[in-house]
Structure formats: structure tokens, C-alpha cells
A and B are shown apart, each in its own frame.
Chain A
Amino acid sequence: MRLKIGALGVGVLTVALVASGCSKTTDDSDSSGGDKAVNVQAGAISYDAADNKAPAPAVDGGQKGGNLGVFLPDGFEHLDPARAYVNVAQMADQLLVRTLTGYREDGKGNLKVIGDLATDPGTDVNKDCKVWQFKLRPGIKYEDGTPVTSKDVAYGVARSFSPDLSEGPHYIQQWLTDKGADYNADYKGPYNGGAALPPGVTTPDDQTIVFTFAKPHCDMPYAATLTTTAPVPAAQDKKTDYDRRPFSSGPYKIKSYQLGNSLVLERNTNWDANTDPLRTALPDTFTFNFTLQADAVNERLIADAPADQSFLGWQDVQPAQLAKTTTPDVKARVLEGPTQYVWYYYINTQRIKDLNVRKALNYAIDKDAVLKAIGGTPAGTPATTLLSPTVAGYQKYDAFNAPATGDAAKVKELLGSTPPPALVLAYANTPPRAAQAEAARKSLEAAGFQVTTKSIDPTNYYTEVGRKDNPYDIYLGGWGSDWPDPGTVIPPLFDGRQITPTGNQNLSYFNEQSVNTEIDRIGTLPSASDRAAAWAALDKKIMTDFAPVVPAYYDGAYTLVGSKVGNAFDSSAFGWPGLINVYVKP
């Protein structure tokens, strides 16, 4: 999942600002977090009837009514369910549209995938993960009172194939066509004379939809949580303009939407709580304010003026403001915890072939200093694993037992008489990344490595390090799961068969036969909990036997809520506080 793209803080003017914003972006992050409320979650797909029952469990102390506000610098890129990929858009869409499945979270770290539109997380018809059937709950209506049908879900999936609406996730499209990134080679959506139904999708009746894949995809209940499966009635499809006003199947509909300014949601009176197992939808209205900068958002939330008390911030507290959040009344309103992102120093295994050197690098890098460069503990916590604590099956381990501040003596012991090789350390040229690169360089040099740093234009960073023949040895990169399952982390990052000349995500260029085989084996395990355990074991094996990366830190979220916001907690699935079960305190 991508995190919200925000200001990169480039340009002389922004840099000149006292607290210029450098929010989380695809290639840059100086977010915050902590090790206190680590939402380690078991992660489960639940077919239990009690879990899948509507209405949603009542919120303790929850109050109906009021206006809940969200400060979100710069607003949404896309709200169209086919195009929403950024976490904030996905969280806002949860209020506007329903999807086949969804996450039920209790705020204590327990997360369950259950049926949302569907009665359960999907039936694996032949027990081979190739044919998935979903039955819709009866009585679900759109904002105009017309019933939601499985044909509308199919239409939503169909339009997500269009190259003109391609900003969203591409899992289901790729699985249906089995053509990888070329998924729309033969089908480009229901437009320009294209078929109404995408390949592999059938709707036997108005309540049923069936997906047929060429290969097993046991993660379908997770993938169906994405807004790709939101119903879109063909008659309401306004193509690119649908972005401005998605037709509501959820508890709220759009009252007004001024780009760059505000979005106001009001109740969809045709939504029935008795059909919805996820949303309590307590506030009467939601107001999103896009006009404030990152620092202003948190300045306002720290001050907690009456008008702002029912607001929460989708914006991490900036390092310069951390000191103001330590007073007890503010501290009580801080939400912190790990996000689904983990940052690694990828070691280019094509250039650093010696396992001992890669192990030595794991001892050499001062993770603590790398974190301090972007704000310290609230920005994250030192990592030792490949998987984030937020994904299912996460097992804490430390393959090297190196202190977070590094261990130069151990490096020398490991390398013995071999001289440490000269290293090229590449980084995205933004102030936080440059500070981190400097910290990493210092620790590497203290351990005896010769380091040349190389700055790369931030917008081009992942393109550059994603070239197979890149001339760099070690570089920082972040990766977040698209759903809290290791299957969206380990295969994209460590499957050597996916290495291509450009556009790589396996940035260590790590290709190990035994690991590739194991990835295939785990993918076909029918039981979700067996898969989770096997992924965790593979995580440990990759680090212990091959050390293709230095896990640097688990990215942290550190946001504020106003004093009248109730039941706000960091979502394990989305990183920041979700909205479907918050309420306004009287």
C-alpha cells in the first residue's frame, strides 16, 4: 500500500519555513511512532458466524451525532474506488462505499477479515483457492434507495481494468487475467465497446459473484477488502468525474466536495446498520479539512481549541513539535504505533556477494542514529525482522543480536583479515533522507568500511535503485504490505524470479533457489494460519542464511486527536486512525 504522498519539502522557499512539512511519501518519510502500543495482531480470516454478523458490535461509550473532523493536508488524490490506493483515500472510502470483505478491528490489535457486502469472507469453492464465490447480504441499498447487486460489484471490478482509471491496486485484475502487469492487454474495461464483465467474473444471480483464477490465490479474502470490489452501478458511472462523487453504498454520502479545500459527508439515509457488520457510523457528519499544512494541523490539535476538539489528524506530528506533546493532557491524545511499513537498507547482492560482508553490514549500521536523524523513537523503532509487527504471523527474532547502535568490534571479528570493501551508499535527496544517509555513513566508516555517498533526485529514487545494473551497494527503501499478510511482503521483495532489467521491487536483487521454491510452496498452503507461520519461518531463514538486507526500522505513526474524539485508534490495516467506528464525545 502506498502512504499518502505529501510535500517533499523541496525548493528554497519551503526549506526556509520554520517547520517545513516533509510528510510521508512514497520515497520519503519522517513520520513518528513508538514502541508502546505495538499492535501486534494475529490476523485472521474469520468465517465464524458471530464475527460476520451485522450490525457491528456497539462501541463502548459511543454516542450518536455530532460532526467529526479530519485534518488532511492537501486532500485526496482519488476517491473513485477504482483509483483509491493511498491509505487516506481507502479510509475515507470506507465511509462511502462497501466492499465484498472488510477489516473488523477492536483497537487492541485484533484484526479479522470478515464479509462486508458479502455474508462471509468468500467461499473457496473447490478448496484450491482458484474459484471464489461471494454471496451478498440482502437489503443493502445505494443512496437513492436502489438495491446493491452483484452485477454492480462486477461492473466495479470491470471498470478498474481501464487504463484511464489505473491508479488503484491491481491484484484482482492480474489474478483474473494471469498476465501480470499486462493485465489489460486483452481487456480494458467496459468502455469503448469492451465487454461488460471482465474475464473470469460471473454473476449467476443478483446476490452472487464468482471469481475464477488460473492460479491459486488464497489471499482473495484480503484482496477483496480493497475498493476494487466496491459496487458501481453502470448508470452512475461518470468515468473520470466519478472521482468527485462516488455513488454511495456506505453509511455516508458526499454533501459537498471542494478540491483543495474541504469534503463534507452527510448520512446516507438508505444505509441500514442491520446489513453492516463493520460500521457503527456514529457521527452525523464528517468534515475533511485540506487547507492546513502538516505543522499547522498538529499545532491546532495540540492547542485543542473548542472548534478543533472533534477533529483528528491524518498527519504525523513533525519532529520539531514532539516536545509539545509530552504534557499529560496532550500525551493522552497521541496515537502511536508501528505502521505496516518497514524500512530496510537493501544490500545489492550482485555487488556484495560475500555473505560475511552482508552479515557484517548488519552489525555495522547504527539503526538508532538513523532513526534519531528523523526524530527518534516516535519516528519508528529499530527493526530486526523483514515483516512488520502489524502483519499476520509476525514473529520477533534477531538473527544477529546486534545492538541497535551497531557493533564495530563484531564487524572486525566477522571480516577477519579480509579488508572491508568500499561501498557506494545511495539516498533520496531530501533533508530527512540526507540526514539518515550521513548517520549511516558515519557508522559504516566507524566499522572500517570506506563509504561514498551518492544523492539521487527524490522523484527518481526508486527508478534508479530499481535498475538491475545500478551502481550502488546499499540504499534505504521502505515497503508496506497491501494487506496485513506476509504474502504481500516477502514475494515482491525476495522472489528472485521477478527480477527484471528495470522497475524492480526486489532491490537486493536477491535470487536464491531454495527461497523461491519455499515461496511457491507457502502460496499453495490452504490454511491461512499455516501460511502465516511458514512466512514467519521463511523471514527468519532469509535473514539468518543470506542477510540480503539490514532491517533498519519499523516505521511509526504518531498522530493527535482532539479531546472530543472517541474510539480513535491506529488501524493495523491502514496505519492511521480509521473512521468507521469513531464518535464525537458530547
Chain B
Amino acid sequence: MLRFVIRRLLLAVTTLFAISIITFVLFFAVPSSPATVMCGKNCNPTQIAQVEHRLGLDQPLIDQYGTFVKGIFAGRTIGEGDFARECPAPCLGYSFRTDEPVLDIIKRTLPVTVSIVIGSAILWLLIGVSLGMASALKKGTIFDRLAIGTSLVGASLQVYFFGLVLLLIFVYSTGWLTAPSYTPFTQNPGQWAYGLILPWITLGFLNSALYARLSRAQMLETLSEDFVRTARAKGLPKTKVYTRHALRAAITPIVTIAGLDIGAALGGTVITETIFGLQGLGKASVQAVEDLNLPIVLATVLLAATFIVAMNIIVDLLYAVIDPRVRLG
């Protein structure tokens, strides 16, 4: 078990290093100059050269990468002379555009994205899995058809349609809700939930549709397996067969998908954040790409990759707990 974890962690670190190098190289491979963007239109070559020097873009690529990595582990000094600033580890640099420490940007945008994802993931897993399981048990009934029909609608909708419709109905037309906003959970949990209810419903409903269909199919497959028939034949009560035997087997692939989905969503729910005007990680990263804001691009890409890698490890560990057939090693 311990060996497994260590091996996976080493692999994760290697992956993240590879991703950081690729991002760095790709960023500089495209023919565009961040200094020109920062400097604006009324800018001449002398000024552009100065901006490049200030941002450290005049250094060889390998040195820039080295400085970046050193900053993460040991911190670094940014700027020269009176303008030298200590950037303690983990130093992700300063935004090219606003001079804000990238770590601060992550600190204020990540909680927004995490809040959106946690709430909606709870919704989609609860609704999706229970609806799917119930439909499987009541296969062929009106309930099953209704549930699956609804989920087909949900699965075919898009966030940028469904989200805008909800906004139109609940905010702009009726004024039943105020426009979504983010309040830190620690500040006011009620306001936190109230401000995020529309994004939660949007993401929760759309994703639950997929999970309902997936859970139903998995459950049906498991119910037709030999060990379920054996359990029933042994005279076990129906509920015990479903919950103790069938559910555990059926849920394994759902955990895999949920892990990946949540990991990917934590990296930024760009469309949801954009539609509801929430300043999350996704919006910050897209804005950074448009501005050629390298420190933010690197940080958000690495963070997104970390979430996916971490969720993968967690899913593998969960397997061992959920499914008795899986042994780690």
C-alpha cells in the first residue's frame, strides 16, 4: 500500500515537471511578445526592451525556467535595486499585467472555483447516482422512462444555454434571486450558498444527467451478473443484495469518472464562472492566456494538472476500499 502511494507520487511529480516544461516551451514557441501587450500601442522598441528586462523575458529560456522552479521551492528576489521584492516560497511570480503576486491571485480565485465544484458535485452525485440506481431497480416503469428522458434532456443541454436561461428566469425577469456572487464560506455560510445556488443547479443538473445514465447502465449490468443471482438464490433480502453486493460493484467506474470530472472542474469551470460573473480560477486562466501573462498561465496550468493527478491517486486508493476485488501493490 505504502509502496503504491510512493510510486504514484513520484510519477505525479514527474508528470507535473513535464507539464511545466511543455507549457513554458509552448508559450514561447508562439510568435507573440508579452512585453508588447503590456506596453500597449504607443510603445517604441526601447520601451519594449525595458519591459522585457523588467519582466525577465530578456534572459535565456532555460534560465527563466530555472528561476521559476527555484522560486517555487526556495523563493526568489524579483526586481532590482530599490524595487527588489522578496517573493517567498512557493513563489509563482507576479502578474505581468497588474503586478499582483500570482499566489494571491490563486488564493482569491481558487476558493471560488472549489466552492462551485463542491456544491455542484454533491448535487450531481446525489441526484445522478440515486436517480440512476432507482431507475435500474424500476427498469421499464414510468418512473424509469421519465427519469431517463429528463436526463437525456439534461445531457444534451450546454452550460451556456441552461445557465443563461436560469439567469433570465430567476434574476433578470422575476428578480427572485440576486445575481450570483461569491461570499467566502468562513464569512457567511448562508450568503455563500445563496450566491452560488444558480451555478450549482446548472452544473449539478447537467452533470447529474450523465451520472444518472451511467449509474443506471452500471447497475443493470451488475444486477445481471452471476454473483447477484447467487446472492438472491441464497435467500438474502433484496435490499441487502442491492446495497451490500450490487451497489459496491456498480459504483466503482462511477468513482473513476467522478474523480476525473471533479479534478478537471477544479482546474477551472471557465464557462460557468464567465456566465455567472464569478472570479474563479478558470476565468483567471483564460484572461491570462489572452494577456500572454506567463506567470499566471504557468500557475493555473500546473494547478489544474495537480488536481487531475491528485484525484487519480485518490480514486485508485478508493478502489481498494470500495471494491474487495482490488488489491493495491
A interface residues with partner B (beta carbon < 8 Å)? 2, 5, 7-8, 10-11, 13-14, 16-18, 26-27, 74-78, 85, 162-164, 166-167, 170, 181-182, 191-192, 239-240, 243, 258-261, 290-293, 296, 299-300, 303, 305, 307, 457, 459-460, 462-463, 482, 492, 500, 502-503, 505
Q: How far is the CA of A162 from the CA of B82 in the complex (A)?
A: 11
Q: How far is the CA of A128 from the CA of B92 in the complex (A)?
A: 52
Assess whether A299 is in contact with B172, with CB atoms less than 8 Å apart. yes
For the complex, is B100 an interface residue (Cβ under 8 Å from A)?
yes
9 examples of A-B residue contacts, CB within 8 angstroms: A8-B290, A13-B270, A77-B98, A192-B82, A243-B98, A260-B105, A291-B277, A457-B32, A500-B44
Residues of A contacting B277 in the complex (Cβ-Cβ under 8 angstroms): 291-293, 296
Given A77-B98, A240-B99, A243-B99, do A17 and B85 touch, yes or no (CB 8 Å)? no
For the complex, is B292 an interface residue (Cβ under 8 Å from A)?
yes
CB distance from B198 to the nearest CB of A (A): 13
Other A-B pairs beyond A78-B99, A164-B79, 13, CB < 8 Å: A5-B37, A13-B271, A163-B54, A181-B45, A239-B83, A240-B79, A259-B100, A260-B284, A290-B279, A292-B277, A296-B179, A460-B31, A492-B42
Q: Choose from B38, B45, B85 the contact partner of A503 (Cβ within 8 Å).
A: B45
CB distance from B29 to the nearest CB of A (A): 13
Assess whether B160 is in contact with A18, with CB atoms less than 8 Å apart. yes
Residues of B contacting A502 in the complex (Cβ-Cβ under 8 angstroms): 45
Q: Choose from A293, A457, A503 the contact partner of B31 (Cβ within 8 Å).
A: A457
Assess whether B99 is in contact with A261, with CB atoms less than 8 Å apart. no
Assess whether B287 is in contact with A181, with CB atoms less than 8 Å apart. no
Assess whether B47 is in contact with A191, with CB atoms less than 8 Å apart. no
Q: How far is the CA of A460 from the CA of B284 in the complex (A)?
A: 22
For the complex, is B256 an interface residue (Cβ under 8 Å from A)?
no
CB distance from B158 to the nearest CB of A (A): 8
For the complex, is B59 an interface residue (Cβ under 8 Å from A)?
no
- CB-based nearest B residue for A27: B41
- CB-based nearest A residue for B292: A459
Residues of A contacting B179 in the complex (Cβ-Cβ under 8 angstroms): 296, 300
- CB-based nearest A residue for B95: A259
Given A259-B98, A259-B100, A460-B33, do A164 and B108 touch, yes or no (CB 8 Å)? no
For the complex, is B46 an interface residue (Cβ under 8 Å from A)?
yes
Assess whether A192 is in contact with B81, with CB atoms less than 8 Å apart. yes
For the complex, is B36 an interface residue (Cβ under 8 Å from A)?
yes
Q: Choose from B33, B48, B82, B175 the contact partner of A459 (Cβ within 8 Å).
A: B33
Assess whether A26 is in contact with B40, with CB atoms less than 8 Å apart. yes
- CB-based nearest A residue for B83: A164
CB distance from A258 to the nearest CB of B (A): 7
Assess whether A7 is in contact with B40, with CB atoms less than 8 Å apart. no
For the complex, is B274 an interface residue (Cβ under 8 Å from A)?
yes
Q: How far is the CA of A78 from the CA of B96 in the complex (A)?
A: 12
Q: How far is the CA of A260 from the CA of B284 in the complex (A)?
A: 9
For the complex, is B157 an interface residue (Cβ under 8 Å from A)?
no
> Using a CB-CB cutoff of 8 Å, which residues 21-59 of chain B contact chain A?
30-33, 36-48, 50-51, 53-54
**CB 8 Å contact bits of B261-283 with A (1 = contact, 0 = none):** 00000000011001101110000
Q: How far is the CA of A10 from the CA of B286 in the complex (A)?
A: 9
Assess whether B54 is in contact with A463, with CB atoms less than 8 Å apart. no
- CB-based nearest B residue for A303: B172
Residues of A contacting B312 in the complex (Cβ-Cβ under 8 angstroms): none
Q: Tally inter-chain residue pairs, CB-CB below 8 A.
A: 129
- CB-based nearest B residue for A74: B287
For the complex, is B97 an interface residue (Cβ under 8 Å from A)?
yes
For the complex, is B178 an interface residue (Cβ under 8 Å from A)?
yes
Given A77-B97, A181-B44, do A261 and B279 touch, yes or no (CB 8 Å)? yes
Residues of A contacting B38 in the complex (Cβ-Cβ under 8 angstroms): 167
- CB-based nearest B residue for A459: B32
Assess whether B50 is in contact with A166, with CB atoms less than 8 Å apart. yes
CB distance from B27 to the nearest CB of A (A): 12
Residues of B contacting A307 in the complex (Cβ-Cβ under 8 angstroms): 178
Residues of A contacting B85 in the complex (Cβ-Cβ under 8 angstroms): 240
CB distance from A378 to the nearest CB of B (A): 21
For the complex, is B130 an interface residue (Cβ under 8 Å from A)?
no
Assess whether A18 is in contact with B164, with CB atoms less than 8 Å apart. yes
CB distance from A395 to the nearest CB of B (A): 25
Assess whether A2 is in contact with B175, with CB atoms less than 8 Å apart. no
Q: How far is the CA of A85 from the CA of B41 in the complex (A)?
A: 11
Residues of A contacting B161 in the complex (Cβ-Cβ under 8 angstroms): 18
- CB-based nearest B residue for A464: B31
For the complex, is B135 an interface residue (Cβ under 8 Å from A)?
no
Residues of B contacting A482 in the complex (Cβ-Cβ under 8 angstroms): 42
CB distance from A468 to the nearest CB of B (A): 12
Residues of B contacting A17 in the complex (Cβ-Cβ under 8 angstroms): 160, 271, 274-275
CB distance from B196 to the nearest CB of A (A): 13
Most buried by B among A2, A8, A503: A503
Residues of B contacting A291 in the complex (Cβ-Cβ under 8 angstroms): 181-182, 277-279
Residues of B contacting A296 in the complex (Cβ-Cβ under 8 angstroms): 179, 277
CB distance from B157 to the nearest CB of A (A): 13
Assess whether A182 is in contact with B46, with CB atoms less than 8 Å apart. yes
For the complex, is B109 an interface residue (Cβ under 8 Å from A)?
yes
For the complex, is B289 an interface residue (Cβ under 8 Å from A)?
yes
CB distance from A195 to the nearest CB of B (A): 14
Residues of A contacting B40 in the complex (Cβ-Cβ under 8 angstroms): 2, 5, 26, 85, 167
Assess whether A11 is in contact with B279, with CB atoms less than 8 Å apart. no
- CB-based nearest B residue for A78: B98
Residues of A contacting B98 in the complex (Cβ-Cβ under 8 angstroms): 75-78, 243, 259
Assess whether A191 is in contact with B172, with CB atoms less than 8 Å apart. no
Q: How far is the CA of A459 from the CA of B27 in the complex (A)?
A: 13
Q: How far is the CA of A5 from the CA of B50 in the complex (A)?
A: 21
Q: How far is the CA of A18 from the CA of B161 in the complex (A)?
A: 8
Assess whether B48 is in contact with A11, with CB atoms less than 8 Å apart. no
Residues of B contacting A457 in the complex (Cβ-Cβ under 8 angstroms): 30-32
Most buried by A among B79, B82, B182, B291: B82
Residues of A contacting B287 in the complex (Cβ-Cβ under 8 angstroms): 7, 74
**CB 8 Å contact bits of B63-102 with A (1 = contact, 0 = none):** 0000000000000000111110100000000000111100
Closest CB pairs A-B (n = 3) = A192-B81, A191-B82, A26-B41
Q: How far is the CA of A212 from the CA of B45 in the complex (A)?
A: 27
Residues of B contacting A192 in the complex (Cβ-Cβ under 8 angstroms): 80-82
- CB-based nearest B residue for A85: B40
Assess whether A505 is in contact with B278, with CB atoms less than 8 Å apart. no
CB distance from A546 to the nearest CB of B (A): 24
Given A166-B51, A192-B82, A260-B284, do A7 and B290 touch, yes or no (CB 8 Å)? yes
Residues of A contacting B175 in the complex (Cβ-Cβ under 8 angstroms): 305
Q: How far is the CA of A162 from the CA of B275 in the complex (A)?
A: 40
**CB 8 Å contact bits of B228-250 with A (1 = contact, 0 = none):** 00000000000000000000000
> Using a CB-CB cutoff of 8 Å, which residues 130-187 of chain B contact chain A?
160-161, 164, 172, 175, 178-179, 181-182
Assess whether B286 is in contact with A11, with CB atoms less than 8 Å apart. yes
- CB-based nearest A residue for B109: A260
Q: Choose from B32, B42, B81, B100 the contact partner of A191 (Cβ within 8 Å).
A: B81
Q: How far is the CA of A8 from the CA of B291 in the complex (A)?
A: 9
CB distance from A122 to the nearest CB of B (A): 24
CB distance from B192 to the nearest CB of A (A): 15
CB distance from B97 to the nearest CB of A (A): 6
Assess whether A163 is in contact with B105, with CB atoms less than 8 Å apart. no
CB distance from A180 to the nearest CB of B (A): 8
